[in-house]
Structure formats: C-alpha cells, structure tokens
Amino acid sequence: MASPIGIDSKTPLQLVPGIGAQKASLLERLGLRRAIDLLFFFPRTYQDVQPWSTALELTENTRACVLGTVIDMDSRFGFDGRSSVGVLLEIEGGGYLRCVWYNQPFRREQFSIGRRVLATGVVKSSGVALQMRHPEVLLLADGEEPPPAKPIPIYPLTEGLQQRNVAQSMAAVIPLIEHVEEALPLEVRERAAQKLAFMLSATSSSGNSTLLNSESASVGLPLFDGDLAASAPPKLLAIHDALRMIHQPETMIEAHNARLRFIFQELFVLQLALAMHRHKTQYSKPAPSIPSNAMVHARILKRFPFDLTGDQTLAIEDIRRDMAREIPMNRLIQGDVGTGKTALAQYAMLSAVANHYQAAMMVPTELLARQHHRKLCEQLKDSKVMIELLVGSISGKDKRELLQRIAIGTVDIVVGTQALIGEHVEFAKLGLLVIDEQHRFGVEQRASLRKSRTVPHYLVMTATPIPRTLAMTVFGDLDVSILRQRPPGQSVVQTYVSEPGQQERWWKFVLEQVHSGRQAFVVAPRVEATSEEDAAGESAGAIQQWELLSQGPLAELRVGLVHGRMDGDEKQQKLDDFVSGKIQVLVATTVIEVGIDVPNASVMTILDADRLGLAQLHQLRGRVGRGRFPGYVCLFPRSDIGDEELERLKLFASNHDGFALAELDLKLRGPGELLGTRQTGLPTLRIADLSRDAEILQLARSIACEIIATDPLLNLPEHAKLRRQVVAKHGATLEISDVG
C-alpha cells in the first residue's frame, strides 16, 4: 500500500522524493537500497543538545553544550607518536573554549577558521583555559541556525556522506512509519515491561546493572543511566512510536525507550529461533536411552588415574541424567584451561559403548584428532574397546575398509575431523557424538550432523570460556555444564609482559629451563613475515623466528617448527618429536592453541602478543605448567603499541580466570572477532550489543522460552507475525525454515 507521499516500503531510495540518485548511491554503500531499509537504519548514538551555555555558566567536570566560532587550530605530535588536534572556539556571548582530540588527525580537515560549531562534552580545566576532550560536534553551514535543544541522532556514515544527508533522507521516509506492521504482540510488550521494571528495582540499589550505569548520556552504550531510570521507567513502545522516537526524539528518554524496544525485539526474535530449534531437536526424533547403572559407572571411574573435581562430578551426573532419557542430550561442557573436559568425553563415550552403541568424537584439526586418538588408545589399551581414527589424510583402501567397519559396527569409538560428517560415513548404531571446540565449526555444520538417520546424544565441549551472552546466543539450544575447578597440584602459570631490553635476559631463562630438563614453546601469530623489514625485526613470522632462534640465542638447543601450512603427517611428527624430547624448543603458530598436552613443557614465549585476543592468549598459556613443574609465560608486544594495548596485556598477566578474561575480551573486541570470522552461527545484530545488553538478552530468553513451551511452532494466530520474523531472520541458519 502506497503512503500519501506516493512511495511504499519497497520503493528504491533513488525514487524517494528528496533523496535522488546521488544520495542513494552513497546510502547503498551502507546496505540501504529501499525505503524500508532506511527506516530501520538506526542511530549509533545521540548528541544530547542542551540549551547552550555561556563561558560564565561552564563548570568543571560537568557536561555542557556551547555554540561558538572557530578562531584558531593546531596539530601536535608527541615524542611517543601520539597526535592531537586542537580547535579554539570563541563562545557566543563571550569567553573561549578549546576542543581537543587525540590520535584523530582527520579532525584537522573538518574545521576552518570562522566555522560555527555546536560542541557537547564534559568541561575540564587544562590549567590555562577550559577545554573539552573528544567532544561531539555539529558543524553549522553558513547562515544555518543551531538545532533546538533536543537529541540529535548520529548515524554510521561512509565516505562522502554527512549527518545532514542522512537526516534529510530519513525525513523523506518518516511518513512510512504508519504503514509498518507491529510484530510484537501487546501481551509480549506488557510482559517484558513488567519484568524489566522488576529487574530495575532489584538492581537499582546495587548499581550493578548496565541498564542503570552510563558514562555519559550521549555515548549510546548503556540504555539508561540512574537519573533517566528514576525520572521515567523504561517502556516497551509500540512500533510506530518506537520508529518515530528513535529517529526524531524530543528527549533522551524517548531515544532510550525507542532503542530499548528494538534491542529487545532483535534479541527476542533470536531467542525464539533458538528455543524453537531446541524444541525441534528434542522432540522430533527420540534418542537411544543410554543409562550408566552403578556397575557401569564404577567401572568407568576406575579408568581414571586421578580423583574427579567437584565440577567434574556434577557434570558427569548431568551427562548420566541426559543420556538415560530418550530425549537427545544437547549439552555444552564449558571449561577453563586444565579443568578436565576430556575425562567427561571419555566417560560419555564409554557409557555408550557399555550399552552397545557407537560413539564418535569430532575435533577441528587433524593434529588434535591424532592426539585424542593416541591418548584414548593408551588409556584403553587393556580393554576390548575398538578405537579408530578418521581424518582427511586417510584415503584409498584403508579408508574404504574403515568406513565398512564403522557401517557394520565393529568399531566402537571413532575420533576424527569434519571427515566424520562426510556423505559416505554411516554408523551402524551411533549413540553419542562428542564435538570438541564446537565454536570452530559453526551452527550450520552442527545442524548438518543432526541430519543423520540416527539421532545420537550430543556432548559439545569448549576449552575457550565463553561469555554468558555469547553462550546464550551461539549455544542457546544447549544445556550448559561449567568446569572452573582445576585438579589438585596444578600451580598458577607465572605470566610476564616483557619491557624493552629484557629479551636477552628472557632467552637466558629459557636456556636455564631447558638445561634443567624442561621444554619450551615459542609462539608467533603469523607463519611468515609479510615484508623483508618484518622478517628481520620483531614482527617476524614463525618461519623466520625459527631461523633467528636456531642461529642465535637458542643455537645450542634442538629447535623445531610447526605451523598450519604443513600437512597433517608432518605436523604430527613434529609434535611427536616434541613430546618425546627430540625437540627441546618448538616454534609454532597458534596451531598449538587448543588441546596440545605436553606435561614437560614449562616455558612459553609469545611474540607479537598484542596481535592476539585475551581468550586466545589464555588458551596458549594453558599449554604450559600442565605437569608437576611450574609454568612461565612471557609476552613480547611490538614496541609501537599504545598505552591501552600494553595495559590490556598487563591485565591478562595478572588474571588467570578464563571466564573473567572472556567477558573482558568480548567488551574489547566484540563477538565476531572473539569467535573468529568463520563462525557462521553468530547472527549479525543491527542494534543489540552482546557485551552490553546482557540483562535484555536474559529477559528476551525467558519470555521466548515461556512462549515456545506453550506454542512450540508459533502456530497460534497471535504469534503468526512473530513466526514470520523468526523464519525471515534466522530460519535458514538455525534449520527451522520448515516451521513456516
């Protein structure tokens, strides 16, 4: 249906009056092609324009808005490489204010002498004059009047596009709001508002909720600061009000309420999809009942040459309960480094074998598959359990014979890579599938495993502690058991951040450790340098570092090399040589990050450590100190890193809690970079932020689960619009497109 202005939601932007071809081509760079795309293109933050102040009204450490004219500019470069851009404003009504930006040299091009500027920020004293650091600014054209005192939406931009262009384009499509269909039923909005009010009342006194804390009203991060929440409790607005207020708010309260509506909707639709997927996998087909009675339980525990931790015992009880049911187990074992996840996998696989079912274990790399296979064979060498390895490098007659034995059931446990989900692999009686380091496969691959003709139980494991919001998103269809406790006797790995000039001293320490019988890792993030200059310097890759160390400070030692470009047999041989002691120092890329277990390794050097995330550094640190000898890790950052990067590494060195580091990594790097660019299961979020919106995610999850419990396929008439949203946004990825 066309609107009174002669366009509808599908109208191409170049045909919208007031936009035209030139602006439309710029908007297309942001993925905006139709009128409806622009309407749902949300501001990233707001400039909270208040009545502007005179110089006499400015008070230090308070937020203010000033209107002034640029009368001077300067650019400076410090000895530490940092730059600054300063702009001096003559405030209308009298007085002066200096605006300054650090490490943003592009700011110099934005201003010109005589330009009128509206600047908003926190007023500070520089000792000479008042200033604002990194203020938000609105540049006024010649003769343009300053905007009224209300929030100004700040949108993401692309080269050639300015805020006023987006604002003018948005005004052209705003009339379409009345024709947008409401997707959230009134009952859902009211239920969410009630629960949100309860959450706020429960956390307002403690101040722990991100809903209540804000560094500034215009940052656009937390949804509500304490003053806003106290003056006007947040609401779940109807769609028409929410769209108007998010683009044209009269107050910051309106802007926040509008953002809250869309953040909740985005997370709610995602959680509905996950809840539907969970229900489907649980009830579409039964799984075999695999109980572990007292006798089986005792026999398996006798296989472990150690006592279980309390967390391991609780997780095993979760597994026993799940596998005894005919509802497929879908359990995630999330454990910190060294907490004993593999023992749980072994328990579950032996439970399956004891009940005459097959078990399979899938891991992301052939190197890790070979290690798991070797360990299982060693631990079960005196049993009748038949264990085989299925990886991509096995071919020809050997592979055909192995596939035949798996198909007729003479193989009990198969350890492999993605080769396990090949079209020619058929199990006679698969009862359990263990997936190690699941987040490296992605949701689509996990879904493909569930297409087999049998419906096994699933035990998913990760040694990378995952922040709570990511676990509820990427693994929202799984039950979770958490391992935090380490086995007795494990010491904390001593971690250091190298300062300039300490390299020689550190290499002497490595020599001392190796001469005392220990072994060492040296990690370089890249296989080889990208330039001759890097190859000879501190950013050399693993290949160059191996050459430099072999001929330099570690020349008297047996130094080996392993990286991802080697084939599986060569990598495995190098690792075997390291385990046996033939190699004393192993130079490697992050290929050794997960699962490599060499108890005699006590020292690790991580070069270019600032290139790696905290979670990845924590995984690497977990490769040393696994035996009875204390572990030591030294981080070598690049010499040109900034203070923030150095502080991040020092924070890592002082913190050994993988879960705390994962939460911090999420805030610093974001979910996509944290899980890797190949993670296909992580949805693209338009407005929600998993590192910020934990409470809203929990709220959305609880309501979604309540709805799916009574209407698993969203077939009720009042849920029809929700079902269309779920299928449109998440149907293909989450294997639920058949519900519509």
Residues 6+ away with beta carbon under 8 Å from 351: 290, 292, 296, 300, 319, 320, 323, 432
Mean pLDDT of 627-645: 88
The percent of residues in the chain predicted with pLDDT above 70, rounded, is 87
pLDDT of residue 52: 82
For the stretch 594-612, pLDDT in tens is 767 888 999 999 999 999 9
Q: Which amino acid is at 546?
A: W
For the stretch 28-49, pLDDT in tens is 999 999 999 999 999 998 888 7
- The whole-angstrom separation of Cα 487 and Cα 20 is 67
**691 backbone dihedrals φ, ψ, rounded to 5°:** -80, -10
- The whole-angstrom separation of Cα 692 and Cα 211 is 9
pLDDT of residue 472: 77
pTM: 0.73
Q: Higher-confidence residue: 355 or 77?
A: 355
State the average pLDDT for the chain: 85
For the stretch 682-699, pLDDT in tens is 567 889 888 788 889 989
- The whole-angstrom separation of Cα 437 and Cα 367 is 13
87 is written with which tokens?
């702009």
**pLDDT band, residue 222 (cuts 50/70/90):** very low
For the stretch 7-16, pLDDT in tens is 888 999 999 9
3-state DSSP call for residue 537?
A: coil
pLDDT of residue 216: 33
pLDDT of residue 381: 87
| Model confidence at 234: pLDDT above 70 | yes
For the stretch 438-485, pLDDT in tens is 554 544 555 555 555 558 999 998 877 777 777 777 777 788 899 988
**pLDDT band, residue 705 (cuts 50/70/90):** very high
Within 10 angstroms of residue 370's Cβ, the number of other Cβ atoms is: 23
Mean pLDDT of 128-154: 87
Mean pLDDT of 22-33: 94
pLDDT of residue 66: 92
For the stretch 249-265, pLDDT in tens is 999 999 999 999 999 99
Longest dimension (CA), the chain: 91
Mean pLDDT of 178-187: 92
| Model confidence at 703: pLDDT above 90 | yes
For the stretch 332-354, pLDDT in tens is 898 888 888 999 999 999 999 99
Residues 6+ away with beta carbon under 8 Å from 97: 55, 58, 66, 68, 88, 89, 91, 119, 123, 129, 130, 131, 132
pLDDT of residue 1: 43
| Model confidence at 507: pLDDT above 60 | yes
Q: Higher-confidence residue: 88 or 570?
A: 88
pLDDT of residue 714: 93
Mean pLDDT of 136-148: 85
DSSP assignments along 539-604, one per residue: T--HHHHHHHHHHTTTTTS-EEEE-TTS-HHHHHHHHHHHHHTS-SEEEE-GGGSSS---TTEEEE
| Model confidence at 4: pLDDT above 50 | no
| Model confidence at 719: pLDDT above 60 | yes
Spell out the domains of the chain, with CATH numbers in brackets.
13-45 (no CATH), 50-149 (2.40.50.140), 294-483 (3.40.50.300), 494-655 (3.40.50.300)
Contact predicate 212/197, CB 8 Å = no
Contact predicate 229/241, CB 8 Å = no
